[in-house]
Amino acid sequence: MKYVCDVCGWEYDEEQGYPEGGIAPGTKWEDVPEDFLCPLCMVGKDEFSEA
């Protein structure tokens, strides 16, 4: 599953994770920490939508 930032369009792909931010490949969106911020525009998880 993929999730896209509604503000800037950055995409989180569960298969790839976000290793640069400490989120391992295969990490489900619901398991991403609640304090996660978009690496491009710094908004929270509530600003992401399923792609």
pLDDT tens across 1-46, in order? 999 999 999 999 999 999 999 999 999 999 999 999 999 999 999 9
pLDDT in the model for residue 24 = 98
The full set of domain ranges for the chain reads: 2-50
What is 2-50's CATH number?
2.20.28.10
* 29 vs 1: CA distance, rounded Å: 8
